[in-house]
Amino acid sequence: MVQLMTGTALWSAWAIFASAAASDGSSTTEHFSAKCAEIASQLSIEHGIVHFAEFVAAGTNLSLAQNDPTCAQAFVPVTADMCRVVLSVSTSNRSGLNMEAWLPSNWTGRFLSGGSGGLNGCIR
């Protein structure tokens, strides 16, 4: 249930800022980057903390330092400009989950969710 509520909150916020056109004369990339920076303060997720949201440009090799050393890849190549939202959600007094949402600037409405427990920090 927590995942559903969190996903709904993220996608609602995303729909609002992704649909907004740059009306201040800035480039689309500048506008997207600015909106990405704002999204962290706009999200309200029950029992959740949004740690940060950051713009990641296409062509970046995104390092994932928190990944277990046994992961085959130390970085993930980013193929489109995206807004990376990092958050944690408490599921009880003793447990919780950490997650990221990678929201691309060219989102088409398709959604892929992956996850597991323990040290499995890699999608293979």
Is 119 part of a structural domain of the chain? Answer: no
Residue-range definition of the domain harbouring residue 88:
2-104
Any domain includes 114: no
The per-residue pLDDT for range 44-88, each reduced to its tens digit, is: 888 889 999 999 999 999 887 766 666 666 778 899 999 999 888
Domain count, the chain: 1
Please determine, for residue 2, whether its predicted confidence score (pLDDT) is greater than 50.
no
What string of DSSP letters covers 22-85? --SS--HHHHHHHHHHHHHHH---TTEEEEEEEEE-TT-EEE-TTS-TTSS-SEEE--S-EEEE
- Within a domain: residue 115? no
Is residue 10 in a domain? yes
Q: Residue 110 domain-assigned?
A: no
User: 7-25: per-residue pLDDT in tens?
Assistant: 666 666 665 555 544 455 5
Q: Is residue 72 part of a domain?
A: yes
pTM of the predicted model, to two decimals?
A: 0.72
User: 27 lies in a domain?
Assistant: yes
Domain assignment present for 26: yes
Amino acid at 73: Q
